[in-house]
């Protein structure tokens, strides 16, 4: 099906999609009228759609294709593993060489506190598993009352019921009595929307620490299990907290005797510069979740990592013979693990991580240059994760009426101009290019973005 000429009539494919394929996060009836966007191939930073249109992908798929499309060595790794052993489950005591080697590798490249690895199907399951391990941990060490979780407003932690409850986005709660009574939020550390954010970043950090302390006091210190956060909030609109925020929250969690869980599903694997965002601030979390860049999106896989303290607490404290009761048919999938190992080789020996760090300079320059555009109130970024926030009035920072759907309209116009990025509610445009973007591709990306902004002005 690869060459476009082999594709069945694209209009016919679209009609079948609209009739039968559910896209749950799109507005269903709207999708039936307008969807879908059928993609047919990808090479490097570029996609081709079913109509033959070339698109520069400024979002690495869904912030995941960090090594770019069409990496032949990744394809080979998957094919060889499929030939050798396509399946072995990590559900019981079975294992496979790629899963074992991947666990060892992840322990090497993550903060020293993390020594134990559970290989999942993706980010949502990684978050689910983290919550289950934490609950099991406190039960096992005789503190069953510690079952409340605190997360950030505008946070995103997946779409399973547990993760959707930790996610502070109303669309993920509606009708499900979410958040659970054990799930709570504190305000997002948003420098642009904080009164002193531009001049006194420490005030943003202090506000978060104070909010965490207040929430723990409100719930009772003995009843809070953990604080969950993304180092940079992704789906909430790329909220970049001041440097030092993560470290301060880590220290606060330690003082408050609650576990500190870092969700690096987006920020991991070079997205913000170092391999993990935690590294930049010397943060050692109790648990970490990851997915996306782990396999660069080529196959689904994620991971939940635990400190030895948490692992040992569960392992030693659980009644003999009682399992933790979390697993899946595809846990520790050997093909996923083989792909992840090759992707990790590309980041390190293949120089992709370093390439991303060099690219981040061009990315920053491109976004910063757009700050003076009449529609742009804020341009923010770290590494290759960034956003433009659109305002109707720069001085008051007033946004456009959400009913106008401005960000969506801009993303649609950008698509016609051959560039893909993400539109968020609240007038935010998000960018997460692959780490292999060349200097010329950054120039092209921002030229097309600017052209699009000028068109809608
Ligand atoms: N956590 C974060 C921070 C995410 O961004 C996402 C996905 N966007 C998830 C968890 C869930 O991951 P997945 O979509 O792979 O289930």
pLDDT digits (tens, 9 = 90+) for 9-47: 888 999 999 999 999 888 788 888 888 999 999 999 999
Q: Which of 185, 255, 245 is nearest to 215 (CA)?
A: 185
Q: What distance in Å separates the CA atoms of residue 401 and residue 384, rounded to the nearest whole number?
A: 29
Closest atom of ligand 1 to CA, residue 62: 8
pLDDT in tens, 423-455: 998 899 999 999 999 999 999 999 999 999 999
Closest atom of ligand 1 to CA, residue 233: 3
265 Cβ inside 6 Å of ligand 1: yes
Residue among 266, 278, 287 to mutate when testing ligand 1 (max atoms within 8 A of CB): 266
* Per-residue confidence band for 324, with pLDDT thresholds at 50, 70 and 90: confident
pLDDT average, residue stretch 50-62: 96
Question: Which burial class, exposed, middle or buried, applies to 56 when counting CB atoms under 10 A from its CB (0-12, 13-18, 19+)?
Answer: buried
What pLDDT sits at residue 457?
A: 84
156 Cβ inside 6 Å of ligand 1: yes
- Ligand 1 centroid, distance to 158 Cα (angstroms): 5
pLDDT average, residue stretch 224-253: 98
Q: Helices in 245-307 by DSSP H: which ranges?
A: 245-255, 277-280
CA distances to 53, 161, 255, 380 from 192, in Å: 36, 31, 28, 9
158 Cβ inside 6 Å of ligand 1: yes
What mean pLDDT is reported for the chain?
Answer: 95
Which of 22-26, 106-110, 158-162 shows the lowest mean pLDDT across its residues? 22-26
Closest atom of ligand 1 to CA, residue 125: 16
DSSP code for 110: S
DSSP code for 40: E
Q: Which residues pair with 382 in a beta bridge?
A: 385
Cβ neighbours for 12, distance < 8 A, ≥ 6 positions apart: none
What pLDDT sits at residue 1?
A: 45
Q: What distance in Å separates the CA atoms of residue 258 and residue 149, rounded to the nearest whole number?
A: 9
Q: What distance in Å separates the CA atoms of residue 64 and residue 76, rounded to the nearest whole number?
A: 19
Q: Enumerate domains of the chain plus CATH numbers.
A: 37-58+351-456 (3.90.1150.10), 74-347 (3.40.640.10)
Cβ neighbours for 228, distance < 8 A, ≥ 6 positions apart: 127, 130, 149, 150, 151, 152, 155, 157, 166, 261, 263
123 Cβ inside 6 Å of ligand 1: yes
**What residue's CA is closest to ligand 1, atom 7?**
158
154 Cβ inside 6 Å of ligand 1: no
Q: What distance in Å separates the CA atoms of residue 292 and residue 298, rounded to the nearest whole number?
A: 9
Q: Per-residue pLDDT for 223 more than 70?
A: yes
Reduced to 3 states, what is the DSSP secondary structure of residue 263? Answer: strand
- Ligand 1 centroid, distance to 263 Cα (angstroms): 9
- Ligand 1 centroid, distance to 345 Cα (angstroms): 23
**What residue's CA is closest to ligand 1, atom 12?**
123
380 Cβ inside 6 Å of ligand 1: no
**Dihedrals phi, psi of 268, to nearest 5 degrees:** -75, 170
What torsion, rounded to 10 degrees, do the Cα atoms 160, 428, 241, 194 define?
Answer: -120
Residue among 292, 293, 340, 385 to mutate when testing ligand 1 (max atoms within 8 A of CB): 292
* Per-residue confidence band for 367, with pLDDT thresholds at 50, 70 and 90: very high
Identify whether 179 is preceded by a cis peptide bond (ω within 30 of 0): yes
How far is it between the farthest Cα atoms of the chain?
66
128 Cβ inside 6 Å of ligand 1: no
What pLDDT sits at residue 8?
A: 63
124 Cβ inside 6 Å of ligand 1: yes
């Amino acid at each position: 099906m690869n060459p476009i000429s082999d594709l069945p009539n694209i209009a016919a494919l679209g009609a079948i999609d609209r009739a039968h394929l559910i896209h749950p996060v799109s507005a269903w009836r709207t999708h039936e009228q307008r969807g879908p966007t059928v993609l047919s191939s990808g090479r490097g930073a570029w996609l081709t759609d079913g109509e033959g249109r070339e698109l520069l992908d400024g979002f690495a798929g869904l912030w995941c294709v960090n090594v770019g499309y069409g990496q032949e060595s990744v394809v080979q790794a998957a094919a060889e593993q499929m030939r050798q052993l396509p399946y072995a489950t990590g559900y019981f005591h079975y294992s496979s060489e790629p899963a074992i080697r991947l666990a060892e590798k992840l322990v090497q490249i993550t903060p020293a506190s993390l020594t134990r690895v559970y290989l999942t199907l993706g980010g949502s399951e990684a978050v689910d598993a983290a919550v289950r391990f934490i609950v099991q941990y406190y039960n096992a060490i005789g503190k069953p009352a510690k079952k409340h979780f605190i997360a950030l407003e505008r946070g995103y932690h997946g779409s399973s019921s547990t993760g959707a409850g930790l996610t502070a986005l109303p669309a993920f709660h509606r009708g499900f009595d979410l958040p659970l009574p054990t799930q709570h939020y504190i305000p997002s550390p948003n420098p642009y929307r904080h009164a002193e954010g531009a001049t006194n970043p420490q005030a943003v950090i202090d506000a978060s620490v104070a909010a965490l302390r207040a929430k723990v006091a409100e719930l009772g210190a003995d009843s809070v299990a953990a604080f969950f956060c993304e180092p940079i909030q992704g789906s909430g609109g790329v909220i970049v907290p001041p440097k030092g925020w993560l470290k301060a929250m880590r220290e606060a969690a330690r003082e408050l005797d609650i576990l500190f869980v870092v969700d690096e599903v987006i920020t991991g694997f070079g997205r913000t510069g170092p391999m993990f965002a935690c590294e930049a601030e010397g943060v050692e979390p109790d648990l970490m979740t990851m997915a996306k860049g782990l396999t660069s999106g080529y196959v689904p896989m994620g991971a939940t990592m635990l400190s030895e303290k948490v692992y040992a607490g569960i392992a030693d404290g659980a009644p003999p013979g009682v399992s933790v009761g979390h697993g899946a048919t595809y846990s520790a999938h050997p093909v996923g693990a083989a792909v992840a190992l090759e992707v990790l080789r590309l980041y390190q020996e293949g120089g992709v991580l370093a390439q991303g760090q060099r690219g981040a300079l061009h990315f920053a320059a491109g976004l910063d240059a757009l700050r003076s555009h009449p529609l742009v109130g804020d341009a923010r970024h770290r590494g290759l994760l960034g956003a433009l926030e659109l305002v109707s009035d720069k001085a008051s920072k007033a946004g456009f009426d959400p009913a106008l759907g401005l960000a969506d309209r801009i993303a649609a116009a950008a698509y016609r101009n051959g560039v893909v990025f993400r539109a968020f509610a609240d007038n935010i445009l998000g960018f997460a290019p692959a780490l292999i973007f060349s200097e010329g591709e950054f120039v092209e990306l921002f030229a097309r973005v600017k052209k699009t902004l000028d068109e809608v002005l």
